[in-house]
Amino acid sequence: MEQESIIHVNTDPTAIMPTVNARCAHDVASLPSRTDVAIIGGGVAGLISAIALARQGLQVVVAEKKSYPRDKVCGACLNANALDTLAKLNLLHLLDELQAPTLTQVQIQCGSRTVRLPLPHGRAITRREFDLALANEARRCGVTIAENTTASLEELRPDQNLRCVKIQGSQQVHHMEAAIVLVAAGLSGVREGSQPWPAQVTPRSKIGIGLSLTCQTHNIAPNTIHLCVRENGYLGLVQAEQGVLNLAAAVDSDLLKQSKSFGIWVHETLAKYQLHIDYPFEEAEWRGTPTLTRKVLRPYGQRWLAIGDSAGYVEPFTGEGMAWAMAGGNLAAHVVSSHLKHWSTKHEEEWGTIYRKMIRHRQLSCRTLSWLLQNSFRSRLAIEAAAWFPGIGSWLIHGINQQAQPATIDVAPSKA
Ligand SMILES: Cc1cc2nc3c(=O)[nH]c(=O)nc-3n(C[C@H](O)[C@H](O)[C@H](O)COP(=O)(O)OP(=O)(O)OC[C@H]3O[C@@H](n4cnc5c(N)ncnc54)[C@H](O)[C@@H]3O)c2cc1C
């Protein structure tokens, strides 16, 4: 399963079926034949970069496989870092308009232990509402968004100044040329001609499942990320906008072999930690992701840069995925708008260096957490340590919430 899909419950793992979107695709024939920047994927990374680039006066086209509003597997938590990027772009008002609750603590339950750690700052918002608001904002800035279209990287034009992009609508195919392409297609990445996306999945990596719902909850505390840890995965719950409850979990990819459905696993997990939610989880339509933790060998190529999950990903914890995606999208927009006129392969290589610098420290915190939670003995030991020495937990939370863009980032000036 290389794309996010709806998982029909009470079936065996081979029955994971992709969603068929019945809405009409964008009329691709109306798209321009040439643009400054083409963006493949309209998630948070793609939309943030589109907004930032359009505000710099560049012509931007986004190709998005689904149509908004659309659900997405995500914990719905924006951390301090993500809020910082939104503030830089003057977009925090979107969260106020959507009435996204603030988050002040994370409550981790593991075995018989419960640990509560304060969060520096955070907000909860479902991806259905957040991505729709960002897409509307991008359109207001002049971005063209082609919904229900699938794009791929095609060849470089012979003079090497433009990259071709193939945009597939429901009936037609459109070929567009772009000075730069940003690949923001999430975990799956895209094909470059006949080449698969250059990603290496980490062994024993988990998959993501998720659901947003409106229902009665009894002891889900507001302003709190609830993290329930079990031997084969962990489940995060948060109250998002307008009383919507968001659930997201990272679970072993062979969980379905042990449990009849994700719904049963979630039900058991909630019961284990005495969290009461009146909802028939066994009958729900869970969304699922491909395997999560992956390294991308080279997040750039001739006239393309990868951003967000397409540039690499580590399992989620308290809201770092969107923070990386948005910081990366904003930074890529800065690199592209500053150097577009005199673009060279040097800028692509620089993107690789900048990106690694940007995410190295925060990925270390997530990899540490991921390693601890891989095994029940280690996770119990970690939770005991965090209960006795809260500084340890705070150190990890601080690492995850650290500034996305180190002050040392240096993009060499273009030669005029
Ligand atoms: C279980 C789980 C919980 C998580 N919890 C959190 C959390 O609480 N907070 C947080 O910050 N992060 C969380 N994350 C991580 C977060 O969801 C991702 O890091 C984030 O969505 C990455 O954004 P993106 O824009 O790179 O990719 P995406 O949001 O995945 O967007 C990619 C977009 O590209 C589109 N697309 C794909 N291929 C193509 C194509 N060929 N052509 C056109 N369009 C295409 C897709 O339809 C999609 O809309 C969680 C992830 C999981 C799995």
37-46 pLDDT per residue, tens: 999 999 999 9
Assess whether the C-beta atom of 73 lies below 6 angstroms from ligand 1: yes
pLDDT of residue 9: 40
H or E element that contains 233? strand 233-239
Q: Which atom of ligand 1 is nearest to the CA of 328?
A: 26
Assess whether the C-beta atom of 247 lies below 6 angstroms from ligand 1: no
237-273 pLDDT per residue, tens: 999 999 999 999 999 888 877 666 889 999 999 999 9
CA-to-CA separations, 97 to 93, 104, 133, 241, 270, in angstroms, rounded: 6, 20, 10, 10, 31
Domain extents for the chain? Answer: 28-203+293-401
Q: Is 268 strand, coil or helix?
A: helix
- Mean pLDDT computed over 201-209: 86
pLDDT of residue 320: 82
- Mean pLDDT computed over 188-214: 88
Assess whether the C-beta atom of 322 lies below 6 angstroms from ligand 1: yes
CB atoms within 10 A of CB 203: 7
Q: What is the CA radius of gyration of the chain?
A: 21
Residue closest to 358 by CA, chosen among 316, 304, 311: 311
pLDDT of residue 212: 94
With bands split at pLDDT 50, 70 and 90, how would you rate the model's confidence at 20? very low
358 or 399, greater pLDDT: 358
Q: How far apart are alpha carbons 42 and 48 in whole angstroms?
A: 9
- Mean pLDDT computed over 281-303: 89
Assess whether the C-beta atom of 250 lies below 6 angstroms from ligand 1: yes
Assess whether the C-beta atom of 329 lies below 6 angstroms from ligand 1: no
26 or 346, greater pLDDT: 346
81-115 pLDDT per residue, tens: 899 999 999 999 999 999 999 999 999 898 888 98
248: DSSP letter? E
> Is residue 382 over pLDDT 80?
no
> Is residue 3 over pLDDT 80?
no
Pocket test residue of 65, 84, 167, 212 for ligand 1, highest count of atoms within 8 A of CB: 65
pLDDT of residue 258: 67
Q: From atom 18 of ligand 1, which residue's Cα is the shortest distance away?
A: 321
pLDDT of residue 319: 67
- pTM for the model: 0.89
Residue closest to 290 by CA, chosen among 184, 206, 192, 185: 206
pLDDT of residue 12: 35
Assess whether the C-beta atom of 106 lies below 6 angstroms from ligand 1: no
What integer best gives the mean pLDDT of the chain? 85
With bands split at pLDDT 50, 70 and 90, how would you rate the model's confidence at 27? confident
Superfamily of domain 28-203+293-401: FAD/NAD(P)-binding domain (3.50.50.60)
- Mean pLDDT computed over 116-135: 94
Distance in Å, CA 325 to ligand 1 centroid: 8
Kindly report the three-state secondary structure assignment for every residue of 326-387.
HHHHHHHHHHHHHHHHHCCHHHHHHHHHHHHHHHHHHHHHHHHHHHHHCCHHHHHHHHHHHH
Residue closest to 316 by CA, chosen among 305, 325, 329, 306: 325
Assess whether the C-beta atom of 316 lies below 6 angstroms from ligand 1: yes
Distance in Å, CA 414 to ligand 1 centroid: 32
Assess whether the C-beta atom of 50 lies below 6 angstroms from ligand 1: no
Q: How far apart are alpha carbons 223 and 116 in whole angstroms?
A: 12
- Written as one string, the DSSP assignment of 141-194 is TT-EEETT-EEEEEEEPTTSS-EEEEEE-SS-EEEEEEEEEEE--GGG---BTT
Assess whether the C-beta atom of 44 lies below 6 angstroms from ligand 1: yes
> Is residue 66 over pLDDT 70?
yes
Assess whether the C-beta atom of 299 lies below 6 angstroms from ligand 1: no
pLDDT of residue 399: 58
C-alpha 191: how far from chain center: 19
Distance in Å, CA 128 to ligand 1 centroid: 12
Q: Pairing between strand 144-146 and 60-63?
A: parallel
Q: How far apart are alpha carbons 332 and 177 in whole angstroms?
A: 19
pLDDT of residue 407: 36
257 or 205, greater pLDDT: 205
Distance in Å, CA 415 to ligand 1 centroid: 35
102: DSSP letter? B
Instruction: Name the residue type at position 89.
Output: L
pLDDT of residue 201: 86
Residue closest to 348 by CA, chosen among 183, 230, 145: 183
Assess whether the C-beta atom of 233 lies below 6 angstroms from ligand 1: no
Tokens of 142: 């002049």
- Mean pLDDT computed over 110-138: 93
Assess whether the C-beta atom of 26 lies below 6 angstroms from ligand 1: no
With bands split at pLDDT 50, 70 and 90, how would you rate the model's confidence at 360? low
H or E element that contains 37? strand 34-40
> Is residue 61 over pLDDT 90?
yes
155 or 231, greater pLDDT: 155
Q: How far apart are alpha carbons 165 and 37 in whole angstroms?
A: 11
Distance in Å, CA 158 to ligand 1 centroid: 33
Tokens of 283: 């009958």
17: DSSP letter? B
- Mean pLDDT computed over 323-352: 95
